[in-house]
């Protein structure tokens, strides 16, 4: 591979969609939050917590809005007019937030996504949208990595896909062993990036993992 299209998203904004403050939170959801607040030792009826159950309900609808979308739909529109470009495309350091399914604690980190197109490419923002579509669900990092890679593989049918995720987990930093600053790295390689050692070495180097 001799031609590289790479972008570092730390210098590019992907604007999140605004939360819907008009969502009506059902009484049973609010009651569940009130029960949890009471169980932790606080008083859900005190002034500072009166509106917390509704806020928490709306927040979780936002955190988990990925359940309401098909991430693969973002890859439906592709482009063939790329001036003959047929080399690897890399989108680096895409920031994301998710929540672990074991403790509902935050997972925060970055993902780098690469693919080697056959005849068509997709808009770069769509790769980030695929990531967010899966991240905005209850997750484990290993599954998130695999889902993003498989979605791109199935929908774009490229020569190869590589996804590397580096994240910190609130269930480890804020509870349990309480060890902040520890990052977990997972990867999924498909196609030529898995089968060809030269391609694998190059794409991982472009992601800063060489």
The reply to whether 101 belongs to the active site is yes
Q: Pick the catalytic residue: 64, 69, 97, 103?
A: 103
Domains of the chain, each with CATH number or no CATH: 4-14+72-206 (3.30.1130.10)
| Global pTM exceeds 0.75 | yes
The reply to whether 102 belongs to the active site is yes
Nearest to 60 by CA among 27, 106, 129: 106
Please, which residues have CB within 8 angstroms of residue 38's CB and are 6 or more apart in sequence?
44
Question: Token pair for residue 125?
Answer: 């923002």
**Residue range 25-39: mean pLDDT, rounded:** 97
The reply to whether 74 belongs to the active site is no
Confidence of residue 12 (pLDDT cuts 50, 70, 90): very low
> With 70 as the cut, is the pLDDT of residue 168 above it?
yes
The reply to whether 103 belongs to the active site is yes
The reply to whether 169 belongs to the active site is yes
């Amino acid at each position: 591979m001799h031609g590289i299209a790479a972008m570092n998203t730390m210098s590019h904004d992907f604007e999140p969609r605004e939360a819907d403050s008009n969502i009506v939170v059902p009484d049973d959801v609010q009651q569940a939050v009130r029960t949890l607040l009471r169980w932790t030792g606080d008083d859900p009826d005190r002034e500072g917590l009166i509106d917390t159950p509704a806020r928490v309900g709306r927040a979780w609808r936002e955190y988990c809005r990925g359940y309401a979308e098909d991430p693969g739909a973002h890859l439906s529109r592709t482009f063939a007019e790329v001036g003959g470009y047929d080399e690897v495309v890399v989108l680096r350091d895409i920031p994301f937030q998710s929540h672990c399914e074991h403790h509902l604690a935050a997972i925060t980190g970055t993902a780098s996504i690469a693919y080697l197109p056959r005849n068509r490419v997709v808009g770069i923002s769509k790769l980030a949208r695929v990531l967010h579509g899966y991240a905005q669900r209850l997750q484990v990092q290993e599954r998130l990595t695999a889902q993003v890679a498989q979605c791109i593989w199935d929908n774009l049918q490229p020569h190869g896909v590589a996804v590397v995720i580096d994240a910190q987990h609130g269930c480890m930093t804020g509870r349990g062993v309480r060890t902040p600053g520890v990052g977990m790295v997972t990867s999924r390689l498909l196609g030529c990036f898995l089968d060809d050692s030269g391609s694998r070495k190059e794409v991982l180097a472009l992601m800063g993992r060489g």
